[in-house]
Amino acid sequence: MHAILCLGNPGPEYERTRHNVGYLVADLLGQRHGVSLTRRRLRSIFGRGDVAGLDTLIVKPQTFMNDSGDAARRLVQFFKIEQANFLVIYDDMALDLGVLRVRRGGSDAGHKGIRSVARLMGTTEIQRLRLGVGQPPAGVSPRDWVLSEFKATERAKVEDMVQRAADAAECWLTDGMDAAMNRFNG
């Protein structure tokens, strides 16, 4: 079994924020593959189904971003998911809006969600797909920036990024990490 953990914050007030771009990818993957994200368990909402020919969980943790590791650990333990079959998708302010980066692992670079996942999974070698949401403008705190909604002028770029991120997750499933990095880290 594979798992794609898409980070975000639960609740309607966060629905369209930069921090929840991972949830947008989860929803799109579910739509593309007919996987209903309705199961509530293990501090997550998820669906299980055939994604790109593989038995896959698409997961939206229902912890807040900074506690995402708790949901990740519970899922991995319950479903006995191997490290090689686990991908985390999340927003990243270090990348310009619309840029994708697929990585095998590494530091959390200050992202508290991936920090929580790494801490509770016991490793920084977590396969990940980072989604660029851009740097905050002068005078805006990083916290306020990631909890802000995308501007109307950014929405087309965000929609394109979410489409490509779903493509990258599918590529990771079918062709592996190297292929996903080569194809989407351009």
Cut 0.85: pTM above it:
yes
pLDDT of residue 117: 95
CA distance 65 to 122: 18
The predicted-structure confidence for 48-86, as pLDDT tens digits, reads as follows 999 989 999 999 999 999 999 999 999 999 999 999 999
Compute the C-alpha angle 40/82/121, nearest 5°.
70
Looking at the structure, give the CATH architecture of the domain made up of residues 2-184.
3-Layer(aba) Sandwich (3.40)
What is the residue extent of each domain of the chain?
Answer: 2-184
Give the residue numbers marked as catalytic.
Answer: 19
Strands laid side by side in the 2-6 sheet = 39-41, 44-51, 54-61, 2-6, 86-92, 127-132, 100-103
